[in-house]
Amino acid sequence: MSAQERPESQAERFANTASAAIGVLMALACLPALLGVVSRVSVYGAIGAWVFYCSVLLLYTSSTLYHALPPGELRRKVRLLDHSAIFILIAGTYTPITLGPLREHGGYWLFGLEWVLAALGIAMKVSGSLRFGKISNVIYLLVAWIGLLWAKPFAIGMAMPGIAWILAGGFFYSGGIVFYAAKHRPYAHFIWHLFVLGGTVCHAVAVFGYSVR
């Protein structure tokens, strides 16, 4: 058995499940605030807020279910959903930004590009074309950071603190991939979850503080 196939201990499984469940609880706790926000913003803002929220909830719910399930066919299928939800979260995070501060600055193009790339990524996951973890990680990073091509529109349409929160979230997610890829190290996946939680919090601040209008 290779290091990459090291079995998950019961303690690790609990830590992974609990850390993902924290994300679910955080999302549910924010629902009343979300309802308050969408009641006083534009249609674009409401759509963006709901898409972001639902993509976050989907990611953490699928991750919680995956880690809680025993090995078997159902767990394998939920893992596919969990991995696909990463693409949805990336596009879902861009949605309120592209429909908000970037809408008049080429945001529609970035919106369309992100969702097309997300759909392609999911299709490749489902078809088995992305079986290799390293390739998947590179594609996740490319889809996530392609927004840098819109650096000028970001600078024009969005306040600098909002941009800083977006970048901070991106660094959390990207830095965590180091631990995500280190499957042979105990609790590496748990640490990855902590980075993801940090990235989500940063992006939530960027979305609800500087994007939803």
Q: Annotated binding site for Zn(2+), which residues?
A: 67, 189, 193
CA distance 79 to 62: 8
Q: Output the DSSP codes for 96-148.
A: HHHTTTTTTTTHHHHHHHHHHHHHHHHHHHHHTTT-SHHHHHHHHHHHHHGGG
Lookup: tokens for 138: 């590179």
**Tokens 């993801």 identify what position?**
196
- Look at residues 29, 82, 36, 37 and name the one whose alpha carbon lies nearest to residue 55: 82
Determine the angle formed by the axes of helices 73-98 and 133-145, rounding to 10 degrees: 20
Evaluated on CA atoms 53, 162, 91, 197, the torsion sign reads: negative
Whether 108 and 136 have beta carbons less than 8 Å apart is answered as no
| Six-digit token string for 52 | 């972001």
Annotated binding residues, written as ranges, equal 67, 189, 193
Could you tell me which residues come within 8 angstroms of residue 33 by beta carbon, excluding any fewer than 6 positions away? 208
